[in-house]
Structure 1
Amino acid sequence: MTDHTVKKNPASIPHSIWPAEALRRAEKEAADSLGLTLYELMLRAGDAAFSVARAAYPQAHHWLILCGHGNNGGDGYVVARRAVAAGIHVTLLALESDKPLPEEAARARDAWLEAAGTLHAADILWPEGVDLIVDGLLGTGLHSAPRERVSNLITHANHHPAPVLALDIPSGLMAQTGTAPGAVIHADHTVTFIGLKPGLLTGKARDVVGRLHHNALGLEGWLAGQTTAITRFDASQLPEWFPPRRPTSHKGDHGRLVIIGGDHGTAGAIRMTGEAALRAGAGLVRILTRSENITPIVTARPELMVHALTPQALDDSLEWADVVVIGPGLGQTPWGKQALQKVEQFRKPMLWDADALNLLAINPDKRHNRILTPHPGEAARLLNCSVAEIESDRLHSAQRLVKRYGGVAVLKGAGTVVASETGWLGIVDAGNAGMASGGMGDVLSGIIGALLGQKLALYDAACAGCTAHGAAADHLASRYGTRGMLATDLFDTLRRVVNPDVIDLKND
């Protein structure tokens, strides 16, 4: 069974992500440009997967290899031949079809048979003693739920005690969207080839990919010369966003941030947003909230400037501010609605979250100076659709948000997606299940708001903020685990990740 503890991606995982269809076209173009055949690439893929399997499970002596009727199955045949040559006992189950195998897969199957390999029917009784399962059933071309016989094999593999290594992508997972329309392999390791696919990083991916490995199959040079539409963001990029500060800098250099919200009963939300902004480096943070919240917030964090939200205080604050964050604990009463109506006219960078998004869904408008940070439920309201539709294609949903509302959209979740109306698209490869607790979104709003105040552009602030947020949580989880993580626990580690010039997270 898959171990869902926090795993760090190996340094070899690229930051460029290829749309699934584009990658399928690029594979042949790259091979042709380098004088390689697709069969040679298949041999390299099988060798790469065998090496990962051998390193991860050196004591496994009986491998069960599931080969589908496509090139993913061809990779499986290569793995099988390498395993037998290494003295490993292999049982290979091959799916039958009325259609012939693709040319490369057929060559790989014939080479397996010539090496005295045996093809077993997919519906045989699985042998005893299997200690590793290799999934080569379905590749990146999946467009619907697996058929019954494949689904049965997937279910059997998921219930078997042996670990699973998936070739290119876990069978049943869609390479572009990360959705699983039916049964899906729960892999312990996935070895993906040539380019990184978005479906390995968002949607259902975190549940089923396990530890991700990447091998470009010798195409690194060609790939480096290509431009992809999607970027993977992780903690290794933090130094690019957080350079050392000038010794002579002062608080005015790092942004004057106004945060608006905290209706009755939600003082905690606005306080967390404010403190997160300070921990992310904001120079000055002013909170406008209900008058009864002032004393508790100032007592907990005296560095915050807290005022009652009145029309005059709001006017003065908008004149003073470099950046506005509105929404945490805002509510949907006239108190919050009137504040939002005034903030709509703010021309500097701003972030809308929580009830600001719910009010925006009622009265939509398009603005180019705004970051929206919805979770899937809020995104569904903003796009007048179901949560299932949002989750069925998270990248497309984020793009729909910026097309409709302008600026930048942050679609939160496992594999957060960031989209800009200028066409930039990113997936944040940081964070863990410990973040599934109240207040995490409030903290994120404060972080991104602080980065806007430190002169990052909308898209950069969103990507950097989400990455720092996730990296702080990952550092916590690596020390204490994911269960019981609180949003306020992030403040100490957040301070560490936004100072990468002095803090070595690997050795801290």
Structure 2
Amino acid sequence: MTNLNQLNNPTSLPYSVWPVEAIAQLEREGADALGITLFELMQRAGEATFRHVQALYPEKKRWLILCGHGNNGGDGFIAARLALSAGKEVTVIACEGSKALPEEATQARDAWLAAGGEIHAADTPWPEQSDIIIDALLGTGLNRAPGDQYARLIEKANAASAPVFAVDIPSGLVAANGTTPGAVINAAHTLTFIALKPGLLTGKARDCVGQLHFHALGLDAWLAGQTAPMARYDASVLTRWLPPRKPTSHKGDHGKLVIIGGDQGTAGAIRMTGEAALRAGAGLVRVLTHKDNVSPLLTARPELMVQTLSDRALDEALEWADVIVIGPGLGQRDWGKDALEKVKKSSKPMLWDADALNLLAIAGDKRQNRVITPHPGEAARLLNVKTSEIESDRLLAARSLAKRYGGVVVLKGAGTLIASEAGEMAIADVGNAGMATGGMGDVLSGIIGSLSGQKLSLYEAACAGCVAHGAAAEAVSQRLGTRGMLATDLFSELYLFVNPEILNRKE
């Protein structure tokens, strides 16, 4: 039986993510590989649900299980039967559908009834007290707002005092992209099966998934042989990109980075990007900025090489640099536009952020040597759509940006997405609400630019940079909480994640 330490260990989640349209095929092929039926697979899902709820809430005696008219409901019926046999007080409320119940779910329902269980209609009054509510209403096939009878049950569950445990996915959350077109369960815990789905990790997922758990239903070995089209990355994978440095290495080995931006009045943005690049391990960082910013930046961070942005200084820096970052505080005056035009002529690895993206939206181009790091508003301008359209399908937006602009795209937000024109896609499963503050994007640009100069490909640098950035914010929040977090607070924790061997020693 799974213990609580295993349940609460985030590293127990797989690093692969599968699109929703592939899940049914995975189930069939996996069951065939094991020589079991789909009903046996459903039994495993129901048993996993029962065991997880029992491990998390051993003292809860009165279970209310909400079953939908599909296979998700079948998982609920099986969990109900096991809970009843374990001496729990179990109430099952089920929704009716216009079509017949699927074959496997029918078998699960009949087994529940044969065990002496009862099924109550969706409009049945709830028990006066329930200790735990199990949401087995809607599964991963949802692509629209839940119907009225489902919505009423979802809203009632959210209003109850008992915690909610979601089976496979919180009802109302779209597994394909993390949107919530209507009512959605706010779960304390979610147990998903077979594979992680994108909607559990991005979009509105963090508002409703709670603690995410995973169970492969015995398909672990078979799944290990399958190649997933998407990846989930957290701090535990940083060692693959950031090995310990050789004792004989010198600053020239770790990248020469030029950062361009900081028009008059925006010294803070370019300073944060420059310091982030240093904190992430860049060997040398040169900042080209407005003349008014030179003295304040040198005073605040003397390790930066700071110069006034001029044609001559820019030509020299572009020749000198291994990697270019442009955009933080750049503005949209001719001063910034002229610099961007020169940068466009370089074939060196580069990152565009902030005003560089706003200028790109006006005069777009496509290139392979660039990372762009838009937030949803900037992404909307780049694709000439509304921000709501970006948020309605973040995966599609990231892919569209990569197709239109080339190179690598980092679509920032809860569950940041990293996509390349080559088709690679990853979700950075790190970070928290404390990052919703000014300057976080400037810090991220410095980190990614720095890692690109440390022999990582643009895609690897984007993935590693997003993970280190978000993981540092998690470490800050564990000490100080999320409200009031500043972008520069991350510097105190970033060391741990760009030197992941330290984390391994602590473990």
Q: For residue 365 of structure 1, what is the amino acid of its counterpart?
A: D
Q: For residue 426 of structure 2, what is the amino acid of its counterpart?
A: G
1:216-235 superposed matches below 5 A = 216-235=216-235
Aligned to 2:414: 414
Aligned to 1:274: 274
Aligned to 1:331: 331
Q: For residue 487 of structure 1, what is the amino acid of its counterpart?
A: A
**Secondary structure of the corresponding residue to residue 212 of structure 2:** strand
Give the Cα–Cα distance (whole angstroms) in 2 for the partners of residues 423 and 26 of structure 1: 21
**Secondary structure of the corresponding residue to residue 11 of structure 2:** coil
Aligned to 1:10: 10
1:10 to partner: Cα distance: 2.3
Pairs aligned (count): 501
**Secondary structure of the corresponding residue to residue 59 of structure 1:** coil
Aligned to 1:460: 460
Give the Cα–Cα distance (whole angstroms) in 2 for the partners of residues 430 and 88 of structure 1: 37
Deviations 1:226-257 (A, max 9, x none): 11110001000011111010111100000000
Question: Is residue 497–residue 505 contact of structure 1 (8 Å, CA) maintained in 2?
Answer: no
Aligned to 2:35: 35
1:504 to partner: Cα distance: 4.6
Give the Cα–Cα distance (whole angstroms) in 2 for the partners of residues 506 and 81 of structure 1: 43
Give the Cα–Cα distance (whole angstroms) in 2 for the partners of residues 10 and 309 of structure 1: 46
Give the Cα–Cα distance (whole angstroms) in 2 for the partners of residues 10 and 412 of structure 1: 22
Deviations 1:96-118 (A, max 9, x none): 12321100000000000011001
Aligned to 1:60: 60
**Secondary structure of the corresponding residue to residue 93 of structure 2:** strand
**Secondary structure of the corresponding residue to residue 501 of structure 2:** coil
Aligned to 1:70: 70
Aligned to 1:493: 493
Aligned to 1:341: 341
Give the Cα–Cα distance (whole angstroms) in 2 for the partners of residues 235 and 71 of structure 1: 34
Give the Cα–Cα distance (whole angstroms) in 2 for the partners of residues 143 and 486 of structure 1: 37
Give the Cα–Cα distance (whole angstroms) in 2 for the partners of residues 97 and 241 of structure 1: 50
Deviations 1:327-352 (A, max 9, x none): 00011111111100110111110000
Question: Is residue 475–residue 505 contact of structure 1 (8 Å, CA) maintained in 2?
Answer: no
**Secondary structure of the corresponding residue to residue 502 of structure 1:** helix
Q: For residue 39 of structure 2, what is the amino acid of its counterpart?
A: Y
Aligned to 2:393: 393
Unmatched 5+ stretches in structure 2? 1-6
Give the Cα–Cα distance (whole angstroms) in 1 for the partners of residues 52 and 212 of structure 2: 10
Q: Aligned in 2, Cα 1:332/1:8: closer, same or farther, shift over 3 Å? A: farther
Percent identity, please: 67
Q: For residue 500 of structure 2, what is the amino acid of its counterpart?
A: P
Aligned to 1:46: 46
Aligned to 2:377: 377
**Secondary structure of the corresponding residue to residue 183 of structure 1:** coil
Q: Aligned in 2, Cα 1:444/1:184: closer, same or farther, shift over 3 Å? A: same
**Secondary structure of the corresponding residue to residue 149 of structure 1:** helix
Q: Is 1:260 aligned with 2:260?
A: yes
1:481 to partner: Cα distance: 1.1
Aligned to 1:119: 119
1:9 to partner: Cα distance: 5.4
Aligned to 1:177: 177
**Secondary structure of the corresponding residue to residue 441 of structure 2:** helix
Q: For residue 354 of structure 1, what is the amino acid of its counterpart?
A: A
Give the Cα–Cα distance (whole angstroms) in 1 for the partners of residues 143 and 502 of structure 2: 47
Deviations 1:371-414 (A, max 9, x none): 00000000000000111111111111111001000000000000
Aligned to 2:436: 436
**Secondary structure of the corresponding residue to residue 217 of structure 1:** coil
Give the Cα–Cα distance (whole angstroms) in 2 for the partners of residues 484 and 273 of structure 1: 20
CA RMSD of aligned residues (A): 1.1
Aligned to 1:89: 89
1:124-139 superposed matches below 5 A = 124-139=124-139
Deviations 1:255-291 (A, max 9, x none): 0000001112110000000000000000000000011
Give the Cα–Cα distance (whole angstroms) in 2 for the partners of residues 168 and 446 of structure 1: 38
Q: For residue 245 of structure 1, what is the amino acid of its counterpart?
A: R
Q: For residue 313 of structure 1, what is the amino acid of its counterpart?
A: A
Q: Is 1:203 aligned with 2:212?
A: no
**Secondary structure of the corresponding residue to residue 23 of structure 1:** helix
Give the Cα–Cα distance (whole angstroms) in 1 for the partners of residues 494 and 185 of structure 2: 35
Q: Aligned in 2, Cα 1:341/1:469: closer, same or farther, shift over 3 Å? A: same
Question: Is residue 9–residue 211 contact of structure 1 (8 Å, CA) maintained in 2?
Answer: no
Deviations 1:452-485 (A, max 9, x none): 1101001000000000001111111112111111
1:278-357 superposed matches below 5 A = 278-357=278-357
**Secondary structure of the corresponding residue to residue 72 of structure 1:** helix
Give the Cα–Cα distance (whole angstroms) in 1 for the partners of residues 427 and 396 of structure 2: 12
Q: For residue 246 of structure 1, what is the amino acid of its counterpart?
A: K
Q: For residue 153 of structure 1, what is the amino acid of its counterpart?
A: L
Give the Cα–Cα distance (whole angstroms) in 1 for the partners of residues 8 and 325 of structure 2: 32
Give the Cα–Cα distance (whole angstroms) in 1 for the partners of residues 492 and 242 of structure 2: 17
Structure 1 segments of 4 or more deviating over 4 A? 504-507
Instruction: Give the alignment's TM-score, normalised by structure 1.
Output: 0.97
Aligned to 1:109: 109
Deviations 1:119-157 (A, max 9, x none): 111111111110100000000000111011101110111
**Secondary structure of the corresponding residue to residue 501 of structure 1:** helix
Give the Cα–Cα distance (whole angstroms) in 1 for the partners of residues 494 and 117 of structure 2: 54
Q: For residue 262 of structure 1, what is the amino acid of its counterpart?
A: G
